[in-house]
Chain A
Amino acid sequence: MRFNANELTQQELANAVGVSRQTIVAIEKEKYSPSLELAFRIADYFNTPLEEVFSFHPDEE
């Protein structure tokens, strides 16, 4: 999704949504599930519905 948005860097996205670059890295590697607020902020940044950015897989929990 970052690449479709003018090859947005992790740092740029992190700055835009108010978290560290490491948190963006962790979300992309599926090592951290963001809070609902952060998930909405990321979706809002890309101007995309939440379910298009994030999906829920209960089997992996």
Chain B
Amino acid sequence: MSYREKENIINIFSGLLITAIFAWAVYQRHLDGRIDLTDDFQQWGIIFLIYAGVSVVARIIIYIIFHIINAIVTREEDIPQEDERDKLIKLKATRNSHYTFSIGFMAAIIYLALGFAPYTLFIVFVISGLLSEIIDNGSQIYYYRKGV
């Protein structure tokens, strides 16, 4: 398995793990009554900003651990440079990811139009954001395996 494929698998699992832990922590606070996610949209804004920060820091730590383990196992210390094939694969994967997020965005708007509670908009955003990331990394693995 190439470095890029491993990197994408790590991305999928770290994205799922970070989002799951963060969502669980936020939901516990909601259940405890410390935050109100049903009406207070300012809380959603704060949560999204904290999530962005936590996600970046957690990913950096996961990347460092991944790189160390990969270097020990493969005995290759250098990260392979991105070439034209990597760039083309990334471009196609990003296109698929954007399609997914656009569908999620439309789904959120449709939910609102159908009269669902406004906070469902944020939940659909989180789910479509996570799905688009999985599609991005999954597409890259697919193109690396099947060809582009």
Contacts and interface: CB of A to CB of B under 8 A. Distances in A.
**Across chains A and B, which 10 residue pairs bring their CB atoms closest together, nearest first?**
A31-B147, A19-B83, A23-B85, A22-B2, A20-B80, A20-B83, A32-B85, A23-B83, A35-B84, A32-B148
Contact of A32 (B2, B4, B147): B147
B85 A20 contact: yes
A29 B85 CA distance: 14
B84 A23 contact: yes
Contacts of A20: 80-81, 83, 85-86
Interface residues of A, number: 13
Interface residues of B, number: 12
Nearest to A14: B83
Most chain B CB within 10 A, of A20, A29, A38, is at: A20
A30 B84 CA distance: 16
Interface string A6-38: 000000000000111011001001111011001
Interface string B66-87: 0000000000000011011110
Interface in B87-145: 144
A31 B148 contact: yes
Nearest to A27: B85
B34 interface: no
A31 B142 CA distance: 12
Contacts of B84: 19, 23, 34-35, 38
B93 to A, nearest CB: 15
